[in-house]
Amino acid sequence: MADTKYIFVTGGVSSSLGKGIIAASLAKLLQARGYKVTIQKLDPYINIDPGTLNPYEHGECFVTEDGAETDLDLGHYERFLNVNTSQANNVTTGKIYQSVIDKERRGDFLGKTVQVIPHITNEIKERIQILGQDDAYDIVITEIGGTVGDIESLPYIEAVRQLKWELGEHNALVIHLTLIPYLSAAKELKTKPTQHSVKTLMESGISPEILVCRTEHQINDDIRSKLALFCNVKKEAVIQSIDAESIYDVPNLMAEEGLDTITLRKLDLKDDVVPNLDKWNFFVDKLKNATEELSIGLVGKYVDLQDSYKSILESFIHAGAYNDVKVNVVWINSEQEDHNETIFHKLDGLLVAPGFGERGVEGKIAAVEYARTHDVPFLGICLGLQMAVIEFSRHVLKLAEANSVEMNPNTPHPVIGLMEDQKDLKQMGGTMRLGAWDCELQPNSKLAEIYGTTQISERHRHRYEVNNSYVADLEKHGMLCTGKNPQTGLVETIELENHPWFVGVQFHPEYKSTVATPHPLFLGFIKAAKKFHTKA
């Protein structure tokens, strides 16, 4: 019998039903019972990782402690479980095929014909089971991206079929997330799409043990009985997932439906502990009962797809709840800088978002200037810090053509430049400063006060850095470089000497904010915005 149990979450009928939230919610319930749980995501696209994808294609790229550029669902996993993920938690078809082809080139297959079965499926099974080694986890939940029936998902479905058979009874189960659409003309919920979706899954040799049904309306007893009969599952294993006010309500909704109970029963695991969700529900209560509202401007160029800034938005929710406020995000397209100043005066704070490339940078610089000159609480993340340095150099140091070499390689004042080891790179993917890096904060600085320590570690995803040649001049005029990496001497944080709350960071604090531990930078930013709002 396997020591680690495996749960596979598949999706049918439609994409974007929330497999990641269901997986994270189930994991939270199992964790709250005392089980050690982790979640991984299998993505069927051929990119090695989402690092080179436009955010409009796939939403934000989430970065782990060990420097993996991953799917945004890993952000949900970390925010729900308060446990770090890693390279092993996100696997793509690109990684699978690259590994198999590398093995073939080395001669590892001893002249055999390399095929999808068994070579690709064996590689997938190996990646699924990596997290279950060394008894680090009792349960590994694997979310399979895409929708059942997609051509690109077939090798993953086949690998799951094989693995279920190999692991034996009670050691693996499949949860199928599907859609129960409501036809307003007929005024009824329809089960046929779910029946077809399960039939498609069964044609691949997999019969799901649990159905999770996304719906806008309550599912009655007749529908549960019908789904149980035609989809070959127990009636109690037909779980309703109704639209929720917040994703943070979903664990409680799943507990009410008994998703964790039926899961433990089918895995032959003990069900004698009531889930302890006290800390979770403390957060949910604060989130729901916040009465004061703040308007925070988020300045970026991907504002048409909110998933592009998913971790930032969730960090606002965490920090808002613990500051007893509701944060209303005002989306500001940085490519439309001519219209932005009419918005700025209505805001309680401004965040200039990360990004790459020249498009929209002048709008970000205009936002920085407004925040600096009007004492509006400001947080610049990654490119946001760089824009703050450029704005300050242009308007305070009077270096009118100051810029980043990313935007203008021939600028006479390259206040943002490339590290030496980045200058000759030809490949874009996975070649930036990635993952956790140490930062040493100056004692008595605003950042040290915010963190409550001078030694921190934060996650990075960038290629360009503050040019140390300009640091002395910046500091002389009031922009203090209060945090540096102790190994490289590179600037990590900046703050303004004569401003109520103006902070820029080269790293991405949003990647480390969770329900249990909201990030101190976001807590401090929202606290300052609340104070500014009160003053206004």
Neighbour-count burial of 323, counting CB atoms closer than 10 A to its CB (0-12 exposed, 13-18 middle, 19+ buried): buried
What angle, 0 to 180 degrees and rounded to 10, lies between the N-to-C axes of helices 19-31 and 250-257?
70
pLDDT tens track, the chain, 536 positions: 458 999 999 998 888 788 999 999 999 999 999 999 999 999 998 988 877 776 767 688 899 999 989 988 899 999 999 999 999 999 999 999 999 999 999 999 988 999 999 999 999 999 999 998 878 899 999 999 989 988 999 999 999 999 999 999 999 999 999 999 988 888 888 999 999 999 999 999 999 999 999 999 999 999 999 999 999 999 999 999 999 999 999 999 999 999 999 999 999 999 888 889 999 999 999 999 998 999 999 999 888 878 889 999 999 999 999 999 999 999 998 887 565 667 888 999 999 999 887 788 899 999 999 999 999 999 999 999 999 999 999 999 999 999 999 889 999 999 998 865 545 545 544 456 788 999 999 999 999 999 999 999 999 998 889 999 999 999 999 999 999 999 989 999 999 999 999 999 999 999 999 999 999 999 999 999 999 987 76
Nearest to 372 by CA among 355, 388, 390: 388
Query: Does residue 158 have a known ligand-binding role?
Result: no
What CA–CA distance (Å, rounded) separates 432 from 324? 37
Residue 382: active-site member? yes
Q: Supply φ then ψ for residue 452, to 5 degrees.
A: 75, 15
Class of domain 290-534: alpha beta
Choose, from 119, 460, 508, 519, the residue flagged as catalytic.
508
Contact assessment for residue 497 and residue 375, using Cβ atoms and an 8 Å cutoff: no
Query: Does residue 190 have a known ligand-binding role?
Result: yes
Residue 78: active-site member? no
For domain 5-281, say whether CATH 3.90.226.10 is its number. no
Query: Does residue 192 have a known ligand-binding role?
Result: yes
**Under 8 Å CB-to-CB from 8, ≥6 apart: which residues?**
141, 142, 144, 160, 164, 172, 173, 174, 175
Query: Does residue 240 have a known ligand-binding role?
Result: no
What CA–CA distance (Å, rounded) separates 267 from 113? 37
Query: Does residue 246 have a known ligand-binding role?
Result: no
Peptide bond into 118 cis (omega under 30): yes
Measuring CA to CA, how many Å separate 15 from each of 20, 149, 150, 178?
11, 12, 11, 9
Task: Give the rounded distance of the alpha carbon of 398 from its chain centre.
Answer: 39
Same fold, 5-281 and 290-534: yes
Choose, from 369, 495, 510, 519, the residue flagged as catalytic.
510
Q: What is the DSSP string of 153-184?
A: GHHHHHHHHHHHHHH-TTSEEEEEEEE--EET
Choose, from 382, 391, 465, 499, the residue flagged as catalytic.
382
- Quote the pTM value: 0.91
Query: Does residue 355 have a known ligand-binding role?
Result: yes
Q: Supply φ then ψ for residue 95, to 5 degrees.
A: -65, -40
What CA–CA distance (Å, rounded) separates 314 from 518? 10
What CA–CA distance (Å, rounded) separates 525 from 150? 44
Count other Cβ atoms within 10 Å, centred on residue 130: 15
Nearest to 223 by CA among 244, 241, 238: 238
Contact assessment for residue 197 and residue 176, using Cβ atoms and an 8 Å cutoff: yes
* H helices present in 204-300, as ranges: 221-231, 250-257, 259-266, 278-289
Domain boundaries, the chain: 5-281, 290-534
Query: Does residue 205 have a known ligand-binding role?
Result: no
Query: Does residue 16 have a known ligand-binding role?
Result: yes
Query: Does residue 152 have a known ligand-binding role?
Result: yes
Query: Does residue 133 have a known ligand-binding role?
Result: no
